[in-house]
């Protein structure tokens, strides 16, 4: 949540959206968004052709939904009544619902999903996120590994650290065979304590092929969303997953 005294110039907002480098999208037909108030965001089209990943009990369900998109006044721009912010609304929910449009394999109903763990919200270099999916063959291990170096910041806030050469890698091990894929690289960024970024937002079988799909926020700053959707069904030769959609936004409060 932002302090209402915080203000961001247009150039700062553009810079916040320019970090993190995932692979190039495999297709242009899939679109992403996140419900809530955004001070700046990639274009979102409202309508009833969206699907939402909704929490349901201890799991998740994929359901069609109508999305409302409207320009609103930026609550952090004191005295500025121009409608420069974007409100993305899903009926019955406040914010934080992942939305997708154009996914041909979308089918309503419960999703085989992996229960989130604490380290999904920022994976430190050397740490691992295990991805046990019921549909995977016995003896197969899927995991995400973070690489890089974390050092103390030489100037500025004493509690800040600097991440250099930070990478997120997806690894599949089956018996003696191991396959590795680079998901994203963030060459250098500053991180404050309790900063949740980058974050794994959701993992499970979204395209219903029995293999792991990932929805990642590849931002390096807590108020920025840089969503990236990776699907196993879109993987090319040598890949475990393929990047099918991206969406960037600067969050509100």
What is the tens place of the pLDDT at every residue in 213-227?
A: 999 999 999 899 999
Please check the confidence at residue 23 and state whether its pLDDT lies above 90.
Answer: no
What's the whole-number average pLDDT of the chain? 88
Cis bond before residue 227 (omega within 30° of 0): no
What is the tens place of the pLDDT at every residue in 132-189?
A: 987 777 789 999 999 999 998 766 556 789 999 999 999 999 999 999 999 999 999 9
DSSP bridge pairs for 55: 60
pLDDT at 22 (0 to 100): 57
For residue 226, the tally of other CB atoms under 10 A from its CB is: 26
pLDDT at 156 (0 to 100): 58
Structure-model confidence comparison of residues 251 and 110, the more confident one:
110
Local confidence band at 79 (pLDDT 50, 70, 90 cut-offs): confident
pLDDT at 158 (0 to 100): 64
With residues binned 3-state (H G I as helix, E B as strand, rest as coil), the percentages for the chain, rounded to 5, are: 5, 50, 45
pLDDT at 192 (0 to 100): 87
Distance in angstroms (rounded) separating the CA atoms of residues 213 and 111: 11
Give yes or no for a contact between 226 and 17, defined as CB atoms under 8 angstroms apart.
yes
Please check the confidence at residue 34 and state whether its pLDDT lies above 70.
Answer: yes
Q: What is the pTM of this model?
A: 0.87
What is the tens place of the pLDDT at every residue in 89-106?
A: 999 998 899 999 999 989
Local confidence band at 12 (pLDDT 50, 70, 90 cut-offs): very low
What is the tens place of the pLDDT at every residue in 114-130?
A: 999 999 999 999 999 99
DSSP bridge pairs for 245: 229
Q: Is 236 helix (H, G, I), strand (E, B) or coil?
A: coil
């Amino acid at each position: 949540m932002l302090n209402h005294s915080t203000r961001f110039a247009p150039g700062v907002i553009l810079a916040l959206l320019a970090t993190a480098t995932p692979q190039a999208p495999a297709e242009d037909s899939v679109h992403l968004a996140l419900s809530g108030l955004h001070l700046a965001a990639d274009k979102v089209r409202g309508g009833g052709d969206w699907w939402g990943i909704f929490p349901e009990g201890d799991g998740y369900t994929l359901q069609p939904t109508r999305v409302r998109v409207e320009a609103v006044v930026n609550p952090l721009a004191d005295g500025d009544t121009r409608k420069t912010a974007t409100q993305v609304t899903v009926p019955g929910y406040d914010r934080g619902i992942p939305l997708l449009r154009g996914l041909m394999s979308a089918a309503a109903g419960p999703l085989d999903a992996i229960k989130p763990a604490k380290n999904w919200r920022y994976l430190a270099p050397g740490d691992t996120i295990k991805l046990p999916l019921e549909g995977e063959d016995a003896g197969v291990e899927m995991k995400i590994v973070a690489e890089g170096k974390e050092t103390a910041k030489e100037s500025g806030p004493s509690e800040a650290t600097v991440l250099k050469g930070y990478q997120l890698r997806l690894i599949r091990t089956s018996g003696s065979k191991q396959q590795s894929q680079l998901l994203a690289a963030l060459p250098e960024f500053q991180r404050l304590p309790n900063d949740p970024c980058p974050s794994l937002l959701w993992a499970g079988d979204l395209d219903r092929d029995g293999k792991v799909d990932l929805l990642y926020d590849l931002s390096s700053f807590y108020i920025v969303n840089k969503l990236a959707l990776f699907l196993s069904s879109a993987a090319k030769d040598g890949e475990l997953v393929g990047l099918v959609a991206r969406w960037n936004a600067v969050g509100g409060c």
